[in-house]
Amino acid sequence: MLSHRSESKNQESTVFPQAVEAPVQKPQAKPQAESASPRAVIGPKIRFKGELIGEEDLLVQGTVEGTIDLKGHNLIVGEQGVLHANATAKTITIEGKVQGDLYGEERIAIKSSSQVQGNVKAERVVLEDGAKFRGSIDMDVKSSKSMPPSSASAPSKAAMESKEEGNDKGMHDSAKS
C-alpha cells in the first residue's frame, strides 16, 4: 500500500497499485486447407439425388445419387455414407460405400472400412488393408487426356455391372489380395 499526501487538502490518501493485464493473443484461425472438418455435411438421414456442385469441403454421411463436383475441395464419404455417383474433388477419402467413378485431382484414399465399386483416377491412391475394391486404378493422370469420370451422368459400366452381380459378389478384399 502506498500513501501520499494531497497538498491542497493536507490529507493522506491511499493509492492501490493497479494490476496490468498482459495482452492475450487470440488463437488464429487455421487456414481453410488445414481445417479438420468440412464445412458442409450431408447427414445420415438425408438422401440427395442429382448433380451436386460445391465450392467447399463436403462430408457425406447420407446417400447421394448422381454426380458430385467439388473441384479444388475435399470430399469425405463417412462410414455411414453411400454414393451411387461419380465424384470429382481435390482429395477424396472413402470410409463408406461407393458405386461410381472417382477422380481425385491430388489424392484418393480408400479406408479399410470402405467398399468401392468403380474406377479410381488420381496421382496418388491409397488402398488400406481390409478395404473392398472392384474396378481399375489409374495413377497416370497427367498423360491421360480423358475427361474426369464425374463429367458422365451415370456411374461407370464397371460399377453398374458389379451392382447387377450383387453387392459383395466379385469384390476384392485388399487383405486377401
Higher pLDDT among residues 125 and 13, named by residue: 125
pLDDT mean over 82-97 = 98
Which range is least confidently modeled, 85-89, 108-112, 117-121, 142-146?
A: 142-146
pLDDT mean over 23-42 = 58
Which range is least confidently modeled, 13-22, 25-34, 88-97?
A: 25-34
Report the alpha-carbon distance of residue 59 to residue 44 in Å, rounded.
10
Contact 109, 160 (CB under 8 A): no
* Percent of the chain residues past pLDDT 70, beyond the cut: 59
Contacts of residue 89, defined as CB under 8 A and 6 or more positions apart, other chains included, come to: 58, 68, 69, 70, 71, 73, 74, 75, 103, 104, 105
pLDDT tens digit sequence for 51-82: 999 999 999 999 999 999 999 999 999 999 99
pLDDT mean over 83-90 = 97
Cell (9 digits) for 41: 455435411
| Residue 160: burial class (beta carbons within 10 Å; 0-12, 13-18, 19+) | middle
